[in-house]
A = this chain, B = another copy of it.
Amino acid sequence: MTLVTHRNAPGEPALGLARQVRTFIDEQVIPREPELAGDSASASACQDELATQARIAGLWGLFYPASHGGKLASLADYLWVAEQEGRSEYGPAIFGADATLDTHMLLRHGSQAIKRDFLAPLLMGEAVSSYGMSEPQSIGSIPATLTTSAEQVAGGWRLNGRKWFICRADCASFVTVVARTAEGELGGALSMILVPTDVAGFRIERQLDILGRFTGQCEIAFSDVVVPRDYLLGQAGRGLALMQERLGLGRVLRAAHWLGLAQRCFDLMCKRICSDRGEMARLTEKQLVRLRVFQSFQAIAGARALLHDAAHKFDARLDNNVEVNLAKVAASQALSTAVDHAIQIFGAEGLCDLSPLSGIYRTARTTHILDGTDDALISAVGRRLLDAYATGGLLDFSTPSVPAGAVPA
């Protein structure tokens, strides 16, 4: 078939990189997925080996800051690459894409000490970052319920508290911790502080298996952990603003990877339908099968469009809160739809751990909770859209916010 159209095609660099990543995933990563899903020691070695190869191939950290090795100037261009990185659950780690968000945050807001001690090794793939926000006793969507504290002491900041569901906590070199540094108004109460995981008082409390597998999430604890004063990210008390900044870019990055996974599922499903075995059951002729193909494709195509909108506004430095949150929910729905339909076509084989669908199905379920639950985002987007009407205004679909050729650098 002639290729799927996309009108806002990126320039050649992005397309070329997307093709290279796609080939790398197909030839290097997918054949080793069973190994990557295996017991943690050998899986970890395999992942390191592939990451090294990705670096050698020039495919590492493609959306890191342009000044620090990134090869793609715009987020909109990167989406084309990110989808390809995301076609394997292991892709984002192998291409260093898991750290993209942290490289931007540390470069933008980090002190010299932070850049030296954390950013530099992170860019080289020598450090692993993680982010500590959720707490066992807090409500995810209500930062006011966070209790981990950091107080200023002689040597810097002293942290106490617990965090859980911290991604990559099992292998992280450092954690960006959201901690309460002052009383009062939340806008001035929270701060972000970088904590190396080899510091005294830091402890991994337990590993948290998610839907039957351990993917690196842990509960961690800080007991009188002390870190230097200049491990503070940005200004003291401005943690809430930083959290929102993270979420804006972070949700776009994740959603792009999810859409890559969704495309993988779509491919697997369609290939199976068209296989000899599918033909034995005359699957191509079955309308309920075609309905699954239609619905999966529609969900993916719709979510991609929303995500591109969010990225273009990001690149143009416009408020893209509505677009980001809408795209995050839509990407999550698209992934869930695509993997569910694919499993249904494969039958019991699709549920079996021999199939990549088994892991993807479980990853898909987490996306409705991770980085903002569906309900929270639906409610937030609904409110924001209504705000446009609150003062007698309205959404004007006839006026694009980013006129062609007028995208700010």
**Chain A interfacial positions (CB closer than 8 Å to B):** 1-11, 15, 18-19, 22, 76, 80, 83-84, 134, 137, 139-142, 145, 164-165, 208-213, 263, 266-267, 270-271, 273-274, 277, 280-281, 284, 286-294, 297-298, 300-306, 308-309, 312-313, 316, 318-320, 323, 326, 329-330, 343-344, 347-348, 350-354, 358-359, 361-362, 365-366, 368-370, 373-375, 378-379, 381-390, 393-404
Beyond the given A3-B395, A83-B398, A211-B212, please list 18 additional residue pairs across the A-B interface where CB-CB is below 8 A: A5-B313, A5-B320, A6-B309, A6-B402, A8-B404, A140-B347, A142-B280, A209-B352, A210-B348, A210-B353, A287-B375, A293-B382, A297-B326, A301-B326, A305-B308, A344-B374, A348-B370, A350-B369
CB distance from A170 to the nearest CB of B (A): 15
Report which of B304, B358, B368 forms a contact with A344, defined as CB distance below 8 A. B368
CB distance from A177 to the nearest CB of B (A): 18
Q: Which residue of B lies closest to A387 (CB)?
A: B1
Whole-angstrom distance between the alpha carbons of A344 and B291 in the complex? 16
Residues of B within 8 A of A212 (CB): 211-213, 353, 358-359, 362
Residues of B within 8 A of A313 (CB): 5
CB distance from A401 to the nearest CB of B (A): 4
Are A273 and B306 interface neighbours, CB within 8 A?
no
CB distance from A178 to the nearest CB of B (A): 16
- Contact status of A396 and B294, CB under 8 A, knowing A351-B210, A404-B11: no
Report which of B22, B141, B306, B398 forms a contact with A281, defined as CB distance below 8 A. B141
CB distance from A214 to the nearest CB of B (A): 9
Report which of B134, B297, B389, B396 forms a contact with A270, defined as CB distance below 8 A. B389
Tell which of A309, A316, A366 has the most Cβ of chain B within 10 Å: A309
Whole-angstrom distance between the alpha carbons of A105 and B74 in the complex? 42
CB distance from A217 to the nearest CB of B (A): 8
Are A9 and B382 interface neighbours, CB within 8 A?
no
Q: Which residue of B lies closest to A406 (CB)?
A: B9
Are B386 and A366 interface neighbours, CB within 8 A?
no
- Contact status of A286 and B375, CB under 8 A, knowing A298-B326, A386-B273: yes
Report which of B3, B84, B378 forms a contact with A294, defined as CB distance below 8 A. B378
Whole-angstrom distance between the alpha carbons of A378 and B293 in the complex? 9
Report which of B290, B329, B365 forms a contact with A379, defined as CB distance below 8 A. B290
Are A288 and B366 interface neighbours, CB within 8 A?
no
Are B294 and A398 interface neighbours, CB within 8 A?
no
Whole-angstrom distance between the alpha carbons of A252 and B183 in the complex? 55
Q: Which residue of B lies closest to A343 (CB)?
A: B365
